[in-house]
Amino acid sequence: MKITPTKTPFIVKKLFPDYVWEISTKKKELYLTFDDGPTPDITHWVLDTLKPFNAKATFFCIGNNVTKHPEIFSQIVNEGHSIGNHTHNHIKGWNTETEQYLGNVSIAEKVIASQMRQPTPVDLFRPPYGQIKPNQGKKLMALGYKIVMWDVLSFDWDNTVSNQECLNHVISKSKNGSIVVFHDSIKASNNMKYALPKVLEHFTEKGFSFKSISSIDTLE
C-alpha cells in the first residue's frame, strides 16, 4: 500500500513554498523528469524514446553514476536535456547529518561540472526519496540551488504497482505545468518502459509539448 500520494497535496506545497512542485503556466506543457541515472541501456532507451516526440526532459543524476558512465551523461547533455543534482550516492537526507549531506551534494556537483560542455552551473537539485531536512534545504538554497520536487509520481519503481497503474497515475493526474517523476534505473525499468511511450503519445495527441526545467522556470 502506497503511503506517498500520486499527486502532491496542495497543503504539502503550501508548507514548503520555497521548493518547486510544478511550473506555473497556462500552456499545454509537461515537465518529465528522470531520477537515478545515468544507467547503461536504460538511459539510452529513454533518450531514444523521447526523440521522436521532440521531447526535452530533466535528468536528476547521481554523481557516482556520472563517474561510471560519462559517455551516457554526455549524450543526455548533447541532446539538449537539462541536468539536476541527485547527490553523489543517493543518500537519504532524513538519516544524514547536514554537513555530510551537503558534502555529498558537493561531490556530485564537482563530478557533474567536470563533464559539462560549458561551465554553466547545475543549480537544480532533487533529494533522493524526497527526503530532505528543513535545514538541509535552507543551506542548499543559500548555495544557489533550486530544490525541485514534483506534482505527479509515476511510482514506476514500486513492484506492487502494475505497469497499467503506473501509466494511469501520470495520465489521470498530470495537468499544465506538472512535474512528473520517472526513473531511468534498473528497478523502475519495467513500468517506465511501458508507461513512457504511452504518456508521450497520449499527451501529444492532446496538444501538449514536453519541456525541460531551467532556472528561469523555477523563478516564474
Tell me the pLDDT tens digit for each residue of 4-50: 789 999 898 999 999 999 999 999 999 999 999 999 999 999 999 99
**Full-model pTM:** 0.95
- Locate all alpha helices (DSSP H) within 89-148, ordered by sequence: 98-115, 134-142
Whether 1 has a pLDDT exceeding 60, the answer reads no
Fold for domain 10-219? TIM Barrel (3.20.20)
Tell me the pLDDT tens digit for each residue of 152-211: 999 999 999 999 999 999 999 999 999 999 999 999 999 999 999 999 999 999 999 999
Per-residue pLDDT band for 216 (boundaries 50, 70, 90) equals low
Tell me the pLDDT tens digit for each residue of 44-100: 999 999 999 999 999 999 999 999 999 999 999 999 999 999 999 999 999 999 999
C-alpha cell at 71: 559517455
**Residue with grid cell 495520465, as numbered in its chain:** 171
Per-residue pLDDT band for 119 (boundaries 50, 70, 90) equals low
Whether 215 has a pLDDT exceeding 90, the answer reads no
Closest Cα to residue 198, out of 158, 159, 164, 151? 164
For the segment 106-123, the average pLDDT, to the nearest whole number, is: 87
Q: What is the mean pLDDT of the chain?
A: 94
C-alpha cell at 139: 543551506
- Sign for the CA dihedral angle at 104, 106, 107, 111 comes to positive
Give catalytic residue positions: 35, 183
Residue type, 162: S
Closest Cα to residue 141, out of 165, 162, 123, 115? 123
